[in-house]
Amino acid sequence: MFGAHGENGIAPKCAYCRHGTLSADKTSVLCKKRGVVSPDGRCRKYKYDILKRQPPHRQKPPAFSEADFEL
């Protein structure tokens, strides 16, 4: 369904492909195989490049006070 990296829940996108390079304006991908394509597109030549994906930032844990830990 998703490909080799689908176990992580990451859907294939041209923005994460080894063959593509994100354009300067970040609205399209310059693909070596297909030409100019959408960043959300994909094709049969898709190869995941782990270094192109920016993981989401972690959320900060809520601040606790001493009263939260009292019985």
Q: What is the pLDDT of residues 16-45, one digit of tens each?
A: 999 999 899 989 999 999 999 999 988 899
d(CA 40, CA 1): 16
Q: Is the pLDDT of residue 8 over 70?
A: no
d(CA 26, CA 37): 11
pLDDT attached to residue 61? 86
Which residues on neighbouring strands pair with residue 30, listed in sequence order? 21, 36
pTM, two decimal places: 0.62
Q: Show the tokens assigned to 12.
A: 């294939």
User: What is the helix (H) or strand (E) element at residue 44, kind and residue range?
Assistant: none
The full length of the chain comes to 71
Cβ neighbours of residue 51 closer than 8 Å, sequence gap 6 or more: none
